[in-house]
Amino acid sequence: MSGPEPLRLPDDTLVTIEEAAMRIRLSGNLDLLRASRLKEGVQPHLVRGKAIFLDLQDCQWIDSAGFATLMRLAESSGEKIRVAWAPSQVRAAVLHLGLESWIILED
């Protein structure tokens, strides 16, 4: 039995919705345009209390609009977003901006 079929959002963003979590794999950058597309694509599938895992292995950076979108998604789900494979620039920004209330950086 295979897992759930992922949603493919514009810009090669993959979203897999599982029973207990939503998994998002970004590639490229999360800027104003892509943040808007991410929110539009993910928001209808958010469930309060469902964890959100964000894979940034193929993401280079996130701008302020991207971080704002992630914070809104975290607030909507009632859960912190768990981020894996964050590049050093993203890690530094999360810590510098004090976003630990919404984002957990995992190794």
The pLDDT tens digits of the residues spanning 58-81 come to 998 999 999 999 999 999 999 999
Average of pLDDT values for 20-36?
92
Average model confidence (pLDDT) for the chain?
A: 91
Q: What is the pLDDT, as a whole number, of residue 82?
A: 97
Confidence of residue 2 (pLDDT cuts 50, 70, 90): low
Q: Quick check: 3 pLDDT over 90?
A: no
Contacts (Cβ under 8 Å, ≥6 apart) of 42: 9, 15, 22, 24, 73
User: Can you read off the two tokens belonging to residue 32?
Assistant: 């104003």
Q: What is the pTM of this model?
A: 0.89
